Amino acid sequence: MKINDLFSVEKKVVLITGGSRGIGEMLASGFLANGAKVYISSRKSKDCDSTAKRLSEKYKNECISFPADISDLQGINKLFNKFAEENSSLDILINNAGAVWGEPFDSFSEDGWDKVMDLNVKSIFFMIQKFSSLLKKKASTENPARIINIGSIDGINTPYYENYSYSIAKSAVHKLTSVLAARLIKENIICNAIAPGPFPSKMLGSAVEHDYSVISKKNPSRRVGRPEDIAGLALFLSSKAGQYTVGETITCDGGLVASAGHDLTND
């Protein structure tokens, strides 16, 4: 029952897609700070290498850069082969890589639809399919492997912005999580999802010109997310403490989903 035992991820091997910035970097930081060996992947080699070097120095721990474009099967296979050359097993897979596309309904493009669906949904399924062999290697009833899929509250609420394919894709991520959880728990792999609200990131920043004050005022918690918010939840799901939580989509949003439709102007 001691915290150090319940929440430990020490010496675990973790792979985080989209790990070079934003929520992916926050998650990598949390695992590195607690003794895990972390691999991060992203499409841009320079960014991925730079983040891995910076995080390794900051946390005095090993963060390894494996750049890859996982929007198609060729990229997923390339990442798997590179990872498998160095590791015979994997403890924790975090599917965080994603894209967003905003465009008015009347002109919303096929490119905007396909790009988001391919990276946000298709790639998660095939990443799990490919890496399941490594996740099963050391997994047991007493020490299951973990998968965490990063969804979004836009997949739960109706989004404010016209990001049609994004919100629908994230809703699909939540459903995919529960479907695969039922299949994979039989092989000692626990699958859950996190649905983040607003966190500082390049994706959100471009929508609000990196001024998060308006979003903060609309949030019941009066702020945007912090690294410890998302990392803490991921550490719980990856540790002994989260071992009996299976197939869930957990919001991490400061109360936005819980307060949807509630007038906060007089609070």
Q: Cβ distance 240 to 214 under 8 Å?
A: no
Q: Supply the pLDDT for residue 206.
A: 53
Q: How many domains does the chain have?
A: 1
* Residue-wise DSSP of 8-22: --TT-EEEEETTTSH
For residue 267, is it within any domain? no
For residue 149, what is the enclosing H or E element?
strand 145-150
pLDDT at 103: 87
Distances (CA, A) of 137 to 76, 131, 206: 19, 10, 41
Please check whether residue 260 lies inside any domain of the structure: no
| Spatial distance between the Cα atoms of 232 and 31, rounded to a whole number of angstroms | 9
How far CA 15 is from CA of 62, 93, 207, 215, 222, in Å, comes to 12, 5, 28, 31, 32
Please, are residues 195 and 251 in contact by the beta-carbon 8 Å criterion?
yes
What is the distance between the alpha carbons of residues 264 and 267, in angstroms, rounded to a whole number?
5
Q: What are the pLDDT digits (tens) for 211-220?
A: 667 778 888 8
Domain containing 17 — which CATH number?
3.40.50.720
pLDDT tens digit sequence for 57-99: 999 999 999 999 999 999 999 999 999 999 999 999 999 999 9
**Residue 262 falls inside a structural domain:** no
Tokens of 45: 């080699």
31 in helix, strand or coil? helix
- What tens digit of pLDDT does each residue of 121-151 get? 999 999 999 999 999 999 999 999 999 999 9
pLDDT on residue 33: 98
CB 17 within 8 A of CB 80: no
- Given a cut of 80, whether residue 261 has pLDDT beyond it is no
Contact present, 185 and 243 (Cβ < 8 Å): no
Tell me if 264 is assigned to some domain: no
pLDDT value for 262: 61
pLDDT at 221: 86
Phi and psi (nearest 5°) for 113?
-70, -50
Residue 8 belongs to some domain of the structure: yes
258 in any annotated domain: no
Q: Which residues contact 133 (CB under 8 A, 6 or more apart)?
A: none
Question: What residue has token string 């936005």?
Answer: 256
Could you tell me the residue range of the domain that residue 88 belongs to?
A: 3-252
Residue 114 located in a structural domain: yes
Does residue 133 belong to any structural domain of this protein? yes
Annotated catalytic residues are 166
Give yes or no for residue 203 having a pLDDT over 80.
no
pTM above 0.95, yes or no: no
